[in-house]
Amino acid sequence: MPRPPHTCHCGRTVPHGERCLCQIASTRARNRRHDARRPSARARGYTREWEKARAEFLRLHPYCAMCGADATLVDHIKPHRGDKALFWNWNNWQALCTGCHSSTKQRAERNQ
């Protein structure tokens, strides 16, 4: 039996499992504010040197550590937060596919 819709705080009725348009807009605005304060990728250390190391790591670890699909990203297992030693530590790297990095890994980090 399908679950009933819920009423958002703005008054709209929203089907179960979906988000209201006001919630989506609020999330996008919050993300824009976060991105405006965040340093650029280059400022965070993702330089040409990183690109070379990343390509070598993906050559040696071609499959996603979570699901086994073709890996497209190198992820820092423990967030480096600007720590250059942790940033360059290969033992802190894992190869992930985009899907696992964008959903599974992010969800796990939020729950920590």
Proportion of the chain in helix, strand, coil states, percent, rounded to 5: 45, 10, 40
Q: Are strands 13-14 and 73-76 parallel, antiparallel or unpaired?
A: unpaired
Domain extent, residue 54, equals 48-110
Mean of pLDDT values over 88-93: 95
Residues 76 and 102 in one domain: yes
**Cα gap 53→46, rounded to integer Å:** 10
What is the pLDDT at residue 110? 67
Q: In the chain, how many domains are there? A: 2
pTM for the whole structure: 0.65
- pLDDT tens, position by position, 23-52: 999 999 998 998 888 878 788 778 999 999
- Same-domain status, 32 and 53: no
In a domain, 43, yes or no: no
Q: Is residue 84 part of a domain?
A: yes
Is the domain of 74 the same as that of 99? yes
Q: Examine residue 1 and state whether it is found in any structural domain, yes or no.
A: no
Same domain for 86 and 106, yes or no, is: yes
Per-residue pLDDT of 49-78, as tens digits, reads 999 999 999 999 999 999 999 999 999 999
pLDDT at 20 over 80: yes
Which segments of 4-105 does DSSP mark as H helices, in order?
Answer: 21-37, 48-60, 84-88, 98-99
Neighbours of 53 (CB within 10 A): 15
